[in-house]
Amino acid sequence: MTQVSVERAVSSEPRVVLSARGIRKDFGGFSAVRNVDLDVHHARVHALIGPNGAGKTTVFNLLTKFLQPTAGTILLMGQDITRTPPDKVARLGLVRSFQISAVFPHLSVLDNVRVALQRPNNLAHQFWRPVSALDTLNRRADELLGLVGLTKERDRLAADLSYGRKRVLEIATTLALDPKVLLLDEPLAGMGQEDITVVANLIREVAKTRAVLMVEHNLSVVADLCHFVTVLQRGEILAEGDYETVSRDPRVRIAYMGTEEA
């Protein structure tokens, strides 16, 4: 396996790695998402914001193929993934997190990360070998846990962690796959300030060598972290640009931020 990521010095030139053109999703007669064009760049943090029900999570599900778009095309590093199943998309390097914390609750913290490491290390299908065969993954797993500050919780069950710590664990698990494109659905929601700082720094750090697209409500984090912001409203793109531009847009202020926000 390639040494994962974070410390690796790869080119940090922004280039489009994930692009969606005209994607649309109908549920019955209702269009949850219409005409969405998105370009996600390597080495950039891209925020997707918008009021509740704007279709942010639907866009995530479409990009990661958990939902099949009704129309439109999606390219991942030049490859058309519009009809690709979600697990294949993950293997191609587009990995997502979930809005509600997605850990494996009755596995230990360490095992949560090891499960993610199993597939890239070709240790996922051996049904004849003992679990101790997975101990070779411990070093890498411990590194990842150290990175997010979960070393002390290593042997606890994931279910026993606080909500914020579960989110942190989920990010460690996601990073274990060394994804090319990282889709984070509200990664900071429900976290204490301490975790927010850790995770925000972590996102900034990992985004140096990969693309990050995140849904986030915490606008100060968005302002601080994101290079590019896309605002969704009622399933359509309302505005896009850097945070300054977007936050000055009167339509955005009316639709989303409230007029008093600068």
Minimum CB separation of residue 133 from other proteins in Å reads 6
Whether residue 173 contacts residue 188, with contact meaning beta carbons closer than 8 Å, is answered with: no
Residue with smaller CB distance to other proteins, 153 or 249: 153
Residue with smaller CB distance to other proteins, 30 or 127: 127
Residue with smaller CB distance to other proteins, 34 or 166: 166
Q: Which residues of 225-243 are buried (b: 16+ CB within 10 A; e: fewer)?
A: bbebbbbbbebbbbbbeeb
Minimum CB separation of residue 79 from other proteins in Å reads 16
Minimum CB separation of residue 78 from other proteins in Å reads 20
Q: Token digits for 204?
A: 């900034």
Note the residues at the interface with other proteins (CB under 8 A). 6-7, 64, 66, 85-88, 90-91, 95-98, 102-108, 111, 114-116, 118-119, 123-135, 138, 142-143, 146-147, 151, 154-155, 157, 173, 177, 202, 205
Query: What are 75-84's contacts with CB under 8 Å, separation 24+?
Result: 75/18, 75/19, 75/20, 75/21, 76/17, 76/18, 76/181, 77/17, 77/18, 77/180
Residue with smaller CB distance to other proteins, 105 or 192: 105
Minimum CB separation of residue 212 from other proteins in Å reads 15
Residue with smaller CB distance to other proteins, 134 or 239: 134
Minimum CB separation of residue 148 from other proteins in Å reads 10
